[in-house]
Structure 1
Amino acid sequence: MASIIENSLKEYQDFLDGKDTNVEVIETSIPIRPEFDGNVIKNLRKQINVTQKGLAGLIGVSPRTVESWEMDRTEPNRSSQKLLTLLIRNNSLVNELRLI
């Protein structure tokens, strides 16, 4: 096992030094999650044309929770952040969420 790691490290160093290697470089981008402050949530709500109560119903939280987010008293939990991110990226998902 140690020799595999040592060989990998040597090949990586050779790659960094510009020598011929079997190293394959694959570039990818990682989408960045939006920050969730009160203005982001309020703007999303306006974009999809719903009240605090309406947004709460769409993502399964209380209207008071949405109010708290918008006033920057609390932040959405991970589950809510995922739903909010989906809505930010694709406002038309509001129609799908209304059906479930």
Structure 2
Amino acid sequence: MVKICMKILDLNFKHKRDPADDVSARCNPIYVSRVITSMINTANSGGILQGNWGNNFRGGFPPTHWSSSYAILKTWYNSRFCSVKFGQCWVFAGVMCSGNI
């Protein structure tokens, strides 16, 4: 889990832009929370979860499928960082809570 969480931090756009500045800011819990929040949402390219509030979950799983945020994070990591399909608000919140280092 720690390896996955560190990868989340290392793939964020701020780290890609300026790794030294990003790493030095990781002592700030507000900064880390914002980075993780941004990385969870697939709308910000490279995100962990793709949201879907409809009824068609073709190509993925309905949000009710997930019973563990670790399963989502592991799926994302093992797929070489492709967004996991699909989540809704409670799934995003669960991943945020488990992904917060």
| TM-score when normalising by structure 2 | 0.28
More strand by share: 2
Task: Using CA pairs under 8 Å that are at least 6 residues apart, name the structure with larger relative contact order, 1 or 2.
Answer: 2
